[in-house]
Copies of this chain bind each other. A is one copy, B any other.
Amino acid sequence: MRRMKRRVDADRSVDGSDGNGEIRSDLRDLGFGARVTEQSRLRLLNRDGSFNVRRTGLSFVERIDLYHSLLTMPWWRFHLVVFSAYVVLNLLAAAGFMLLGEGALGGIQETTFTGRFTETFFFSVQTFTTVGYGHVFPDGPAANTLVVLHAFIGLMGFALATGILFARFSRPTAKISFSQSAIIAPYRDVIAFEFRIANQRRSQLIDVEARVLLVRNETVDGKTTRRFHNLALERDRVAFFPLTWTVVHPIDEASPLFGLTEHEMRTCDAEFTVLLTATDDIFAQMVHARTSYRGEEILWGAKFADPFVPSDDGILRVDLRRLHDTVEAEMPAN
């Protein structure tokens, strides 16, 4: 099927477009733009899956993306933000209670300004958290009205904070290891571009799908442009993924890599970007992972070593440390 499609592609015009959105040699409509040509030494996608790009030109207000920021900032920063908000809101409330005068709170024992402010702040916290010991308490309508507001803000505020806390904690993410290097390995009668992945999580991934896009410089009519190819995989989807999976792009006549030498690969600023999507067993939700390999991160004439561990207890064991292990392999004469 894919083979058929590729044959169709081969029939297409020189510029490599196939019109079905799968393989495009011209980056214009992908938003990579002409500039990329001059900047082709730049990596588009980093090894850790983050993009090596910035979107500028947004106003400060447009840039604000509060929920996304709160979800993705480091834990120490999240805790700092939430705790600071907690302290600041209670300082504000304490100032409010102070403005109402000395009799606003019953049970205050200190008489200095600092002492009263401190006690008032602690009372605010007891209200905000709904602890409400009651040894200090609001006296009179003004203070009580402020309590009505402050307790409301406390309950709503903690709901937001704890909602985000839990969303951070429970956010469905994949922890997929990619082999340190991609390889060019012997494959049946030809060779293939391969990399290997493993799931580091305890949960299982089902319906795992891999997509590999090649970006590289190409010279057509004497003009070098940056082009983009979707690489056909021998297998682009697996139902189960209990151990490791070697993703394979066979370099046959239909491949844009066909006939390319190791030297050519290194000098065309090739980047292989990888997108994995899957469904997590436990979350029952879609997760994904990204990475990329540069031409110089590819080993020629290698194959992946066996990652299995002998065992006598009837359980298959795979050692994830061996994920990256390769052994030399004899390449077809070709």
Contact = CB atoms under 8 A, between A and B. Distances in A.
A279 to B, nearest CB: 7
Contact of A133 (B129, B132, B158, B315): B132
Interface stretch (A96-104, A148-156, A258-266): A148-156
A10 interface: no
Nearest to A194: B29
Interface stretch (A204-212, A216-224, A326-334): A204-212
Most chain B beta-carbon contacts within 10 A, residue among A56, A126, A147, A288:
A126
B29 A246 contact: yes
B29 A247 contact: yes
A284 B287 contact: yes
Q: Which size class do A's interface residues fall under?
A: 35 or more
A287 B201 CA distance: 19
A151 B122 contact: no
Given A31-B318, A53-B317, A314-B52, A20 B8 contact: no
Contacts of A245: 29-31
Contact of A239 (B39, B134, B213, B244): B213
A274 to B, nearest CB: 10
Contacts of A314: 42-43, 52
Contacts of A51: 204, 240, 242
A248 interface: yes
Contacts of A306: 33-35
B316 A237 contact: no
Interface string A153-184: 01110111111111101111101000000000
B57 A319 contact: yes
Nearest to A122: B144
A17 interface: yes
Contacts of A32: 243
Contact of A67 (B24, B57, B133, B170): B170
Contact of A39 (B86, B173, B232, B316): B316
B165 A56 contact: no
Given A55-B317, A56-B320, 17 more contacts: A2-B21, A15-B188, A21-B235, A24-B234, A28-B246, A31-B246, A51-B242, A53-B243, A53-B317, A56-B318, A87-B148, A125-B144, A131-B151, A133-B133, A163-B166, A277-B279, A285-B285
Nearest to A309: B56
Interface in A101-156: 106, 118-119, 122, 125-127, 129-135, 137-138, 141, 144, 147-148, 151-152, 154-156
Contact of A83 (B68, B152, B286): B152
Contacts of A125: 144, 147-148, 151
B72 A171 contact: no
A133 to B, nearest CB: 4
A238 interface: yes
Interface in A72-100: 72, 82-83, 86-87, 90
A299 interface: no
Contact of A137 (B33, B55, B135, B238): B135
